[in-house]
Amino acid sequence: MSAKPKLMRDVLIQEIFSRAQKDRNIIFISADLGAESLDLFRAQLPGQFIHPGICEQNMIDLAAGLAMSGKTVFTYAMASFITARCYEQLKVALGAMNQPVTVVSVGVGLGYDDAGPTHYTTEDIACMRALPNIEIWTPSDEESAREITVECCERPRFRYIRLERPALARAHHGGFRAAMSQGFCEVAPGSDAVILSSGYMLHRAMAAREQLKMAGTEVAVIDLFRIKPLSGRALTSHLSRFSHVITLEEQCLAGGFGGAVAEAFVDHGVAKPLLRLGLPDRYFFENGGRNHVLESCGLGTSAIVERVGEFLAPSHRRSAHLPNVPTLSSF
């Protein structure tokens, strides 16, 4: 019987704490004290743990100063507050100054469904990937969360880490480290088409794949866990064997995950049908749980299966003559 998966935040905090015990230069700054895994860190390493209060802007400026003095710095807060609330500080103090601070966000997308719309981050990928000098990573399980944390400890850079609130089922099986340099990994095979996703929605893509398989359609799934920098040449080369490509994200489509893939297609001269599935371009005031909001926006598993089936239907009716220009569809 497999062990119950751990929360991503606990995996990250425990790995950093373990390394901080041996390295006094590791500093953890948290605006959120709600995680029990922080208690041990705060109690045993008080000189390496800073609580700046509910003041994320000040936290980023403080992190920049510590990084300039040679410290390995992690900042931690709720996703909606550590991004939009202190965007100017991220841009100027970290981005423009190229300071190697790891910005850790928890509860991306609709993850804070019990806290309401002010805690939703349905545009953070678009906002954060607009910043020069940044790396953007989205783990999808315990293994990927741990390996990404190790990378941040051993090779500090200006990074944005997007953690999910809930524990997620295993998506990788020992091979994540080998795939880190290219930023993506095929986690399920298929031949008819491929779905690219990450984080929480990667697991929804896997569920949709199983339903499509039962209907006779073989769809591969790729975990595109590093959205910036995107390994465009390697990714488009890997996608060359698929006739159709689908991206699935818990973001508004403008500038998001699927947009990054579309840009890679253009930059590398790829002419391939591309379907982008994501949230509609609006603000979200709904409550009632993450699944309810996704279902109401057409991102339930059955709706994804139906949309992918419609997208693939023309190719099943005619086995050749694919369009010679990308088809960018929004759902």
The pLDDT confidence band at residue 117, using thresholds 50, 70 and 90, is confident
Which DSSP string do the residues of 173-233 spell out, in sequence order?
SS-HHHHTTTT-EEEE--SSEEEEE-HHHHHHHHHHHHHHHHTT--EEEEE--EEES--HH
Instruction: Please give the single-letter amino acid code of residue 201.
Output: M
Kindly state the average pLDDT of the residues 174-185: 96
pLDDT score at 125: 98
Helix extents (H) in the chain: 8-20, 37-44, 56-68, 79-82, 87-89, 124-129, 142-154, 176-179, 199-214, 232-239, 257-267, 290-296, 301-317
In the numeric block, the tokens 């080998």 are attached to 178
Per-residue pLDDT at 323 exceeds 70:
no
pLDDT score at 326: 35
Kindly state the average pLDDT of the residues 17-39: 93
pLDDT score at 2: 65
pLDDT score at 145: 98
Q: Which two tokens stand for residue 45?
A: 């390493």
Kindly state the average pLDDT of the residues 83-112: 97
- CA–CA gap between residue 62 and residue 222 (Å, rounded): 37
- List CB contacts of 221: < 8 A, sequence separation 6 or more: 186, 187, 188, 190, 194, 195, 196, 197, 202, 205, 206, 209
3-state secondary structure 143-165: HHHHHHHHHHHHCCCCEEEEECC
CA angle in degrees (0–180, nearest 5) for 149-153-157? 95
pLDDT score at 168: 97
Per-residue pLDDT at 36 exceeds 70:
yes
Kindly state the average pLDDT of the residues 134-144: 98
Domains, in order of start, for the chain: 8-163 (3.40.50.970), 181-330 (3.40.50.920)
Q: What percent of the chain has pLDDT over 90?
A: 87
Per-residue pLDDT at 324 exceeds 50:
no
Q: Over the chain, what is the mean pLDDT?
A: 93
- CA–CA gap between residue 211 and residue 55 (Å, rounded): 45
Kindly state the average pLDDT of the residues 130-134: 96
Find the radius of gyration of the CA atoms of the chain. 20
- CA–CA gap between residue 250 and residue 280 (Å, rounded): 10
Give pLDDT tens digits for 276-298: 999 999 999 988 899 999 999 99
Give pLDDT tens digits for 219-260: 999 999 999 999 999 999 999 999 999 999 999 999 999 999
- CA–CA gap between residue 310 and residue 61 (Å, rounded): 49
- CA–CA gap between residue 76 and residue 62 (Å, rounded): 13
Exposed, middle or buried: residue 215 (CB in 10 Å: 0-12, 13-18, 19+)? exposed
pTM of this structure: 0.93
- CA–CA gap between residue 46 and residue 331 (Å, rounded): 48
pLDDT score at 329: 43
Q: What percent of the chain has pLDDT over 70?
A: 94
pLDDT score at 131: 98
Q: How many CB atoms lie within 10 A of CB 282?
A: 9
> What CA dihedral angle connects 180, 185, 202 and 78, to 10 degrees?
10
Per-residue pLDDT at 267 exceeds 70:
yes
Per-residue pLDDT at 54 exceeds 90:
no
The pLDDT confidence band at residue 1, using thresholds 50, 70 and 90, is low
Kindly state the average pLDDT of the residues 213-220: 95
In DSSP terms, 224 is beta-bridged to none
